[in-house]
C-alpha cells in the first residue's frame, strides 16, 4: 500500500482540492458536498438513461427517483470511503463509479421485481448436430452434453444453483444476491469455483475447449 506522502505526490491538484474541501468543516464542506451531489446525479442519470432505454417498466418519473436514490447512496458510500481514495485516478472518475454502480444495481433489481427467479436448468438450447467436426475440434453438442452432465454430477448444490441462475438463465448477480441474502462478490466466488471445477472435469474427459477461447 502506498504511503501518504506518495499518495499526495501522485494526486492531481483538482482531486486534492476535492478531498480537502470534503474533509473540511462548515460552509466549504457543505459547498463541496452540494457540488459532489450534482456530479453523482449526472452520473446516475447517465446510467439510468442508458439502461432504461430498453426497459419499459421504469417510467420517466421513476427514472428520476431512481437516479436521486442512487446518487444519495453513492454519496454515503463516498463520504465513508474518502480515506480509500489513493489518487490513482481523478477524484471525479473515482466518484462516478459509485453512482454508476448504485444506479445499475437498482435498475437490475427493478427490472426483475416480482419475477420468479429461474434457479433450475430449464433453458438448455437445442444445438443442431453440425456433422463431424474437423480433427481436434470438439463438437458443440458433445461439449454442451458434457458440461450439462458435469453440472449435475460434479458441482455442489450451491455451486449448481448459482451457476445455473447466473450463467445459464442469466439472472443478474445483484438480483440473485438479494434473493439469496448474499453479495455480488460472494456469489461470483461461488461461480468462479464452479467454473474452475467444470473446466477441470471437461479436461479430464479429454475434451478441449481451446477453440472457444478468444
Partner 1 sequence: MNGSSPPDRLVNRLLGPAGPEISCERCFEELDRYVELELAGANADAAIPGMRAHLEGCSACAEDHESLLTLVAGEERPGA
- Binding residues vs partner 1 (CB under 8 A): 43, 46-47, 50, 84, 88-90, 92-94, 96-97, 100-101, 104-105, 108, 125, 127, 133, 137, 140, 143-144, 147, 151, 163, 167-168, 170, 172-174, 184-185, 188-189, 191-192, 195-196, 198-199, 202, 209, 211-214
Say if residue 54 is exposed, middle or buried (CB neighbours under 10 Å; 0-12, 13-18, 19+): exposed
Per-residue CA distances from 145 to 19, 52, 140 (Å): 55, 36, 8
Rounded to whole angstroms, the Cα distance separating 176 from 187 reads: 8
Would you say 28 or 145 has its CB closer to partner 1? 145
Q: Which of 212, 165, 208 is nearest to 187 (CA)?
A: 165
Closest approach, Cβ 143 to partner 1, in A, equals 6
Closest approach, Cβ 21 to partner 1, in A, equals 19
Rounded to whole angstroms, the Cα distance separating 74 from 92 reads: 13
Say if residue 51 is exposed, middle or buried (CB neighbours under 10 Å; 0-12, 13-18, 19+): buried
Closest approach, Cβ 26 to partner 1, in A, equals 29
Would you say 32 or 174 has its CB closer to partner 1? 174
Rounded to whole angstroms, the Cα distance separating 172 from 67 reads: 19
Closest approach, Cβ 125 to partner 1, in A, equals 6
Q: Which of 157, 162, 159, 169 is nearest to 123 (CA)?
A: 169
Closest approach, Cβ 25 to partner 1, in A, equals 27
Would you say 28 or 192 has its CB closer to partner 1? 192
Would you say 30 or 97 has its CB closer to partner 1? 97
Would you say 47 or 73 has its CB closer to partner 1? 47
Would you say 59 or 97 has its CB closer to partner 1? 97
Closest approach, Cβ 34 to partner 1, in A, equals 19
Rounded to whole angstroms, the Cα distance separating 33 from 21 reads: 9
Rounded to whole angstroms, the Cα distance separating 147 from 154 reads: 10
Amino acid at each position: 500500500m502506498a504511503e501518504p506522502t506518495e499518495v499526495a505526490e501522485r494526486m492531481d491538484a483538482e482531486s486534492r482540492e476535492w478531498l480537502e474541501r470534503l474533509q473540511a468543516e462548515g460552509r466549504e464542506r457543505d459547498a463541496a458536498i452540494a457540488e459532489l451531489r450534482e456530479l453523482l446525479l449526472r452520473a446516475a442519470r447517465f446510467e439510468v438513461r442508458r439502461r432504461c432505454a430498453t426497459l419499459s417498466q421504469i417510467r420517466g418519473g421513476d427514472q428520476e427517483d431512481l437516479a436521486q436514490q442512487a446518487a444519495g447512496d453513492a454519496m454515503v458510500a463516498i463520504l465513508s470511503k474518502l480515506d480509500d481514495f489513493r489518487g490513482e485516478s481523478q477524484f471525479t472518475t473515482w466518484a462516478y463509479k459509485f453512482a454508476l454502480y448504485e444506479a445499475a444495481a437498482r435498475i437490475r433489481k427493478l427490472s426483475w421485481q416480482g419475477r420468479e427467479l429461474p434457479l433450475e436448468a430449464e433453458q438448455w438450447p437445442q444445438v443442431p448436430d453440425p456433422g463431424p467436426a474437423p480433427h481436434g475440434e470438439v463438437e458443440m453438442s458433445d461439449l454442451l452434453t458434457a458440461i450439462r452432465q458435469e453440472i449435475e454430477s460434479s458441482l455442489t448444490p450451491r455451486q449448481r444453483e448459482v451457476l445455473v441462475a447466473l450463467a445459464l438463465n442469466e439472472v443478474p448477480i445483484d438480483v440473485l444476491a438479494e434473493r439469496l441474502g448474499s453479495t455480488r462478490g460472494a456469489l461470483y466466488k461461488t461461480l468462479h469455483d464452479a467454473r474452475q471445477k467444470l473446466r477441470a472435469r471437461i479436461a479430464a474427459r479429454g475434451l478441449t475447449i481451446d477453440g472457444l477461447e478468444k
